[in-house]
């Protein structure tokens, strides 16, 4: 493995002598690629550090022999590549245990995925909410730029209201040979995700099972993680084999492997989220993984990664300390120049504070009451979307709305009459899923839901295109990590929105996590590590 990576700004100094004072110790900790000896001064017994294997060190008085201190132990070099599970890099052909999440509606652009892939990381294209032809075009771009030389993937989202669309996108992935898929928002297994996971399974001569397709299951609760950690249900497999969508061998082998081998435990994040606390939910999912792997006698490892709230090196270091095989970031990439969000939207994100978020109804699962986390500052979307759900639960149809409620709805939220909005909605679904229009004709409440979903769906598009007339209606997915990130980069070269490159963000988060990890290691060995050592300052980094 090439570990000459993330070369720091040359202004960061090196520590060549024994470090006992807080400032010297903090500087020595920054040098993660140099082995460090933990030392104890002979006369005073104070603890410190020195560059390992140094025969003598320089002081103002001249050459001071190393015998003036005892070596208590040695910390080897630490590289950002080594923070996660080594099997993650091996299995997916990446250099770093870092994933850029699949922000929907193409906000995780092909440009973002390409940048991450060429930097030795994994990015997922944000296919959720896009039609099959747009997904096909994106795959063309990714294959042309990355091919099989670099790692990349795309998103498959649970679509209970549009199962035919989910099936069509899964079919594209199988037909086009997309080898990695991020499965998000799944509340139950569907034939589409099972088919993708099982396609290409084959048994080797030594009895091991080889997988063609890798599923990254994005989950936040044990009950949604368990089905992905178990073999596929027999009834789904039998149906797929019967319909000719899986071979008999694929159906047989699928009973011996889990649906997914990479699990992203999602904590308090932007978009669909259960607002979980990572330190609470991660150990539970990891324990379940261990129990199910033993129960099913799996021969291949199941990795558990972490996502949500990872906007600073400290948070990333904490995720790895929990045992995360990899980390996945979302909100901070949406604020990067490679994202599909408009410049106006990215500037709004760059102003966000820790508490500038709000939960709002999700367009794709509006009727089920599913919510997602969005930006509150600079937009009224969250408040207005909650008003829509309140109206939806309080009335049975648009015709039942009192005049005052209807007027407020049309003037303050929709910006047009409900009749006009229904006409646009009907035209949209006649081209996308005519069954929705047929259902609305006999179900007035469903017709109301579709009208409200018009606003919920277009609001994210207004944020992507930068429609200045609807800025107060921008739906921008955002978690608390965005506020933490903004505070961390304040005053640094990453503060300005136009300077936020996704790869530079990733390098700094990983480099900083390695520095903080080393600081904690030294502190646990008795070195008086100053608090300042746990604050990593963003700096331009390059990889060699």
Q: How far is CA 272 from the centre of its chain?
A: 12
Give me the chain's average pLDDT, please: 92
How big is the chain, counted in residues?
A: 544
- The whole-number pLDDT of residue 56 equals 43
pTM exceeding 0.85: yes
pLDDT of residue 4: 46
CATH number assigned to the domain covering 81-341:
3.20.20.70
**198-201 — which CB contacts under 8 Å span 24+ positions?**
198/232, 198/237, 198/240, 198/246, 198/250, 198/251, 198/253, 198/254, 199/174, 199/246, 199/250, 200/250, 201/249, 201/250, 201/253, 201/254, 201/257
Q: For 297-323, what is each residue's pLDDT tens digit?
A: 999 999 999 999 999 999 999 999 999
Count CB-CB contacts under 10 A for residue 159.
20
24, two tokens: 């010297």
Give the pLDDT confidence of 156-186 residue by residue, as tens digits.
999 888 889 999 999 999 999 999 999 999 9
pLDDT digits (tens, 9 = 90+) for 80-115: 999 999 999 999 999 999 999 999 999 999 999 999
- Specify the pLDDT at position 364: 84
> Cα angle vertex 305, ends 229, 265, to 5°?
70
Average pLDDT over residues 135-162: 95
- Residue 372 CA to residue 272 CA, distance in Å, equals 4
Q: For residue range 238-295, what is the model confidence (pLDDT) as tens digits?
A: 999 999 999 999 999 999 999 999 999 999 998 888 889 999 999 999 999 999 999 9
Q: Locate the domains of the chain by residue range.
A: 1-77+519-544, 81-341, 356-475
For residue 538, pLDDT over 90 is answered with yes
Residue 67 banded pLDDT, cuts 50, 70, 90? low
Q: In this structure, what DSSP letter does residue 542 have?
A: B
């Amino acid at each position: 493995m090439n570990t000459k990576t993330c070369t720091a700004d040359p202004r960061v100094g090196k520590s060549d002598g024994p470090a006992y004072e807080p400032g010297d110790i903090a500087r020595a900790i920054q040098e993660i690629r140099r082995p460090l000896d933990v030392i104890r001064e002979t006369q005073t017994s104070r603890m410190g550090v020195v560059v390992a294997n140094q025969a003598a060190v320089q002081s103002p008085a001249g050459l001071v022999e190393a015998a003036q201190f005892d070596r208590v132990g040695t910390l080897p070099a630490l590289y950002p590549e080594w923070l996660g599970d080594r099997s993650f890099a091996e299995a997916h052909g990446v250099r770093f245990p870092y994933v850029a999440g699949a922000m929907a509606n193409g906000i995780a652009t092909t440009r973002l995925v390409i940048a991450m892939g060429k930097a030795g990381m994994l990015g997922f294209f944000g296919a959720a909410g896009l039609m099959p032809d747009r997904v096909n075009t994106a795959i063309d771009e990714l294959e042309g730029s990355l091919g099989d030389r670099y790692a990349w993937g795309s998103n498959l989202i649970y679509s209970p209201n549009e199962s035919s669309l989910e099936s069509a996108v899964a079919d594209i992935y199988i037909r086009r040979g997309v080898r990695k898929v991020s499965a998000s928002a799944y509340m139950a297994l569907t034939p589409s995700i099972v088919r993708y996971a099982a396609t290409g399974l084959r048994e080797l001569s030594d009895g091991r099972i080889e997988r063609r397709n890798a599923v990254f299951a994005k989950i936040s609760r044990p009950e949604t993680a368990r089905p992905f950690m178990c073999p596929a249900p027999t009834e789904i497999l039998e149906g797929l084999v019967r319909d000719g969508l899986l071979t008999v061998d694929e159906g047989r082998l699928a009973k011996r492997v889990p649906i997914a081998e990479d699990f992203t435990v999602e904590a308090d994040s932007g978009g669909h989220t259960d607002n979980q606390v990572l330190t609470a939910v991660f150990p539970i999912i990891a324990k379940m993984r261990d129990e199910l792997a033993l129960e099913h006698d799996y021969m291949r490892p199941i990795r558990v990664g972490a996502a949500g709230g990872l906007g600073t090196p400290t948070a990333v270091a904490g995720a790895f300390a929990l045992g995360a095989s990899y980390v996945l970031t979302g909100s901070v990439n949406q604020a990067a120049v490679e994202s599909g969000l408009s410049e106006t939207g990215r500037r709004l994100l760059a102003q966000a504070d820790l508490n500038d978020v709000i939960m709002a109804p999700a367009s794709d699962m509006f009727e089920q009451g599913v919510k997602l986390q969005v930006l509150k500052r600079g937009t009224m979307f969250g408040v207005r979307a909650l008003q829509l759900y309140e109206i939806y639960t309080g009335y049975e149809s648009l015709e039942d709305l009192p005049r005052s409620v209807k007027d407020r709805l049309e003037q303050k939220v929709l910006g047009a009459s409900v009749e006009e909005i229904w006409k646009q909605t009907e035209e949209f679904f006649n081209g996308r899923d005519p069954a929705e229009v047929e259902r609305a004709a006999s179900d007035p409440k469903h017709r109301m839901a579709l009208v409200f979903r018009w606003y919920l769906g277009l609001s994210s598009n207004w944020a992507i295109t930068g429609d200045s007339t609807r800025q107060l209606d921008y739906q921008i997915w955002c978690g608390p990590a965005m506020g933490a990130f903004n505070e961390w980069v304040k005053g640094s070269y990453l503060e300005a929105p136009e300077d936020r490159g996704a790869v530079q963000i990733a390098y700094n988060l990983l480099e900083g996590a390695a520095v903080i990890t080393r600081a904690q290691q030294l502190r646990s060995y008795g070195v008086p590590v100053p608090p300042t050592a746990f604050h990593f300052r963003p700096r331009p980094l390059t990889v060699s």
